[in-house]
Amino acid sequence: MIRYHTRFQRLAFCLAGLAGFVDAIGFLGSGGLFVSFMSGNSTRMAISMAEATSLAVAAAGLIALFVVGVFLTIMASAKITFAHRKVVAISGVAALLLGAAGCKWGGFDVPATGLLCVAMGASNTIFRRDGEVSFGVTYMTCTLVKLGHKLADAALGGSPTDWIPYLLLWLALVFGGILGAVSYVWSPDASFGFAAAFALTLIPITQRLTATLSP
């Protein structure tokens, strides 16, 4: 992450905040499953399989939808120039979140949760280098490993500040999760709209960034 320009790091913080928000509303809406944290869903699936409960099917479905989101977004942007890939991915995320909001408002809770999951898979394709995903914005295990690594480097005489972006990325997800939980408790329908609206605001921001800067 530290290889990216500061302005792109700020975009990553915004996306992590969005992921935290969406994961919170998805978790509350689904009754305890995640839409951006597939390690958690994998554990829930394994436990449910051991207990022979139907939750395993729901968890497996969300995992599959997350992978579909990654797959479709990379396929859609495969022949697009670098300058437009991030914009296409962000636009796809926003469209999926709008679809999720529409389903929620129409009373179709299961499709709404599914679209949230596809959107979160898509959002993880935004930061890619040399055909590989550089870092995820919806899951923080790797980010926390990097945080610990850079703190150790600093203690050993390395850069005293390289750990800060990783801490901020994690905090952005936590803060987004808090906002998502609060908004869902206040109004489930409105919380879906807030997520879509925020994603829409990121489209022109990303357009400006990719038009003037390299990653």
pLDDT in tens, 33-72: 999 999 999 999 999 999 988 899 999 999 999 999 999 9
pLDDT at 41: 94
Q: What CATH number is given to the structural domain containing 48? A: 1.20.1250
In a domain, 103, yes or no: yes
Within a domain: 2: no
**What b/e readout covers 166-180, taking b as 16+ CB neighbours within 10 angstroms?**
bebbbebbeebbebb
Position 157 in a domain: yes
The mean pLDDT of 163-179, rounded to a whole number, is: 95
- Quote the domain boundaries for residue 180: 7-209
pLDDT of residue 47: 95
Residue 32 within a domain:
yes
In a domain, 214, yes or no: no
pLDDT at 100 over 50: yes
24 within a domain of the structure (yes/no): yes
Instruction: Measure the CA angle with vertex 22, ends 18 and 28; round to 5°.
Output: 150
Quick check: is 97 in a domain?
yes
CA atoms of 72 and 66, how far apart (whole Å): 10
Token pair 């915004």: residue: 14
Report if residue 1 sits inside a domain.
Answer: no
Domain count, the chain: 1
129 neighbors 215 (Cβ within 8 angstroms): yes
pLDDT at 176 over 90: yes
Predicted model pTM: 0.91
